[in-house]
Amino acid sequence: MSAMLLPTRKDEAWRYADLDALADLRPLPVVESIVVPAGGSFSRAIVQDSGGVRQIGLVVGKGANARMDTLNLGGDYGRIELDVTLHEGSHFELRGVILGSGEQVLEIVTAVTHAEPNATSNQTVRTVVGGKATGSYLGKVAVARGAQKTDAAQSVKAMLLDRTATANAKPELEIYADDVKCAHGATVGELDQAAMFYLASRGLPPAEAKQLLLQAFVAGVFEGAEDEAALTAAALSKLGAMV
């Protein structure tokens, strides 16, 4: 039933969304449901290159391992939404990159629930936005009562290429257990002008220097992904077009 209703800005998880674009996208596709059985292993790469909303519900069974690599770079409005539930001793890994230009609105939104003890999660998201684009990461980590020894980490860094671009980084914690580790860091910055001049002084033209620094910024995010080469190539190609 809720699929019929469109979210509003009052809904925290849709606060930065492009609601006009969203209206054109309805009906939203069905939420994809993935269950990783106990002791299992799962990995998936998503390249969002044409716009739209993609919602995935992921349940990671006892002692299982799940990894998602998401590259969000296409369309006027592109949203990747992950609702993850972790059972005892399981692990979830998110590696995300958002590359936005023009007037694109691109989002990665996660809700990771540590439902049982000893589960770990690690989320790394790098965003580069230029022009009037908006790149958002909203990441909620919920630790259920009794989910002791939870270890959850979120590292979010964004780079603005122009003062007209917007980056939102919102790690969020909701903890109902008392023996947990939940680390989060978020930064929004610009290209290092000292580094730009250093590279230029060695002969690199500005566009090449920029591209090199941006490559370094997103480098390593997709390390170890099954589609590492394809993901990296797609990211570099967009970065090349952005500088």
Q: Which residues bind other proteins (CB under 8 A)?
A: 192-195, 197-206, 208-209, 212-213, 215-217, 219-220
In the complex with other proteins, which residue's Cβ is closer, 183 or 195?
Answer: 195
Smallest distance, Å, CB 206 to other proteins? 7
Q: How far is the CB of 217 from other proteins (least distance, A)?
A: 7
Minimum distance, C-beta of residue 203 to other proteins, in the bound complex (Å):
4
* Nearest-approach distance from CB 128 to other proteins, in angstroms: 13
Q: Distance between CA 44 and CA 163 in Å, rounded?
A: 34
Instruction: Return the HEC string of the chain.
Output: CCCCCCCCCCCHHHCCCCHHHHHHHCCCCCCEEEEECCCCEEEEEEEECCCEEEEEEEEECCCCEEEEEEEECCCCEEEEEEEEEECCCCEEEEEEEEEECCCCEEEEEEEEEECCCCCEEEEEEEEEECCCCEEEEEEEEEECCCCCCCEEEEEEEEEECCCCCEEEEEEEEEECCCCCEEEEEEEEEECCHHHHHHHHHCCCCHHHHHHHHHHHHHCCCCCCCCCHHHHHHHHHHHHHHHC
Contacts of 231 (CB under 8 A, 6+ apart): 45, 47, 69, 71, 97, 222, 225
Residue 138 or 159 with smaller CB distance to other proteins: 159
Nearer to other proteins, 29 or 220 (CB): 220
As measured in angstroms, the least distance from the Cβ of 229 to other proteins is 17
CB of 180 to other proteins, least distance (A): 30
For other proteins, the closer CB: 114 or 157: 157
Amino acid letter for position 139:
G
Nearer of residues 58 and 243 to other proteins, judged by Cβ: 243
Q: Of 176 and 198, which has the nearer Cβ to other proteins?
A: 198
When the beta carbons of 146 and 185 are compared against other proteins, the nearer one is 185
Closest approach of Cβ 178 to other proteins, in Å? 36
Which residues lie across from 43 on neighbouring strands?
A: 67
